[in-house]
């Protein structure tokens, strides 16, 4: 069975992430979408809120499992029986960071590969932080995130 791990902050999940998940779901029998259980990182949504939004927006894709972890990604992958980390690549600006992470993970565990799925062109400029910034200015983000995510974002900013 081919098992993939797609790690990310997903603060919150966007249509760009969902595009990667849907495309990866065709290549793997099972994919763990995993959020770091990292209390140090400042995020708008809590770990549980982010997981719930991922769960809701991927509920029609049967081979997706949403999880959180305190482990390093390579350790988590080993634990769930996966040898593949999936990452999305948008622009050249993603490349340096992603190359560094992939090299680091490879040095931590040589048996685990990182594979990259290129962003679809309509999402290549889209990030969770740009969506949050837009909502902060009361802009409509419904074309960038699923409805349930834009509702959750609006609630956060109304507080
Ligand atoms: P991280 O903090 O781990 O970078 P993110 O939630 O920002 O977490 O991203 C998780 C993964 O999804 C990364 O590989 C990132 O490059 C990718 N990604 C984010 N937005 C998009 C997008 N619009 N299209 C394709 N991949 C994306």
Average pLDDT of 74-90? 97
Please give the distance, rounded to the nearest whole angstrom, from the Cα atom of residue 72 to the centre of ligand 1: 17
Q: Name the catalytic one among 50, 82, 119, 128.
A: 128
Q: Contact 101/7 with Cβ under 8 angstroms? A: no
Q: How confident is the model at residue 40 (pLDDT cuts 50, 70, 90)?
A: confident
Say whether 90 is catalytic.
yes
pLDDT tens-digit readout, 94-122: 999 999 999 999 999 999 999 999 999 99
Output the residue whose Cα is nearest ligand 1's atom 21: 16
What pLDDT, on a 0 to 100 scale, did the predictor assign at position 52? 98
Secondary structure string (H, E, C) spanning the chain = CCEEEEECCCCCCCHHHHHHHHHHHCCCCEEEEEEECCCCCCCCCCHHHHHHHHHHHCCCCCCEEEEEECCCHHHHHHHCCCCEEEEEECCHHHHHHHHHHHHHHHHHCCCCEEEEEECCHHHCCCCHHHHHHHHHCCCCCCCCCCHHHHHHHHHHHHC
Please tell me the pTM assigned to this model. Answer: 0.96
- 159: pLDDT strictly greater than 70: no
Is 32 within 8 Å of 65 (Cβ atoms)? yes
C-alpha of residue 57 to centroid of ligand 1, in Å: 16
Q: Which CATH number fits domain 3-158: 3.30.420.40, 3.40.50.410, 3.40.50.620, 3.90.650.10?
A: 3.40.50.620
In the chain, the percentage of residues whose pLDDT exceeds 90 is 91
Name all residues whose Cβ lies below 6 A of ligand 1: 8-10, 14, 16-17, 20, 87-88, 90, 94, 119, 123, 126-128
pLDDT for the residue 69: 97
Please tell me the residue having the least CA distance from ligand 1 atom 24.
16
Q: Tokens 């409805």 appear where?
A: 147
Q: Note if 41 is an active site residue.
A: yes
- Tens digit of pLDDT for each residue in 13-33? 999 999 999 999 999 999 999
Asked if 123 contacts 15 with a C-beta cutoff of 8 angstroms, the reply is yes
**Token code pair at residue 131:** 């969506």
* CB of 63 closer than 8 Å to CB of 56: no
């Amino acid at each position: 069975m081919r098992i993939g791990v797609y790690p990310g902050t997903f603060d919150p999940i966007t249509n760009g992430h969902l595009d990667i998940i849907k495309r990866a779901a065709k290549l793997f029998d099972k994919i763990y979408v995993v959020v770091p259980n990292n209390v140090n990182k400042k995020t708008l949504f809590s770990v549980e809120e982010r997981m719930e939004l991922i769960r809701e927006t991927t509920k029609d894709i049967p081979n997706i499992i949403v999880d959180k972890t305190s482990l390093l990604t390579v350790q988590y992958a080993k634990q769930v029986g996966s040898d593949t980390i999936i990452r999305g690549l948008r622009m050249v600006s993603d490349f340096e960071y992603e190359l560094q992470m992939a090299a680091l993970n490879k040095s931590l565990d040589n048996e685990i590969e990182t594979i990259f799925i290129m962003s679809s062109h309509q999402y290549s400029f889209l990030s969770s932080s740009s969506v949050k910034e837009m909502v902060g200015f009361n802009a409509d983000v419904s074309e960038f995130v699923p409805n349930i995510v834009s509702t959750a974002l609006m609630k956060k900013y109304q507080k």
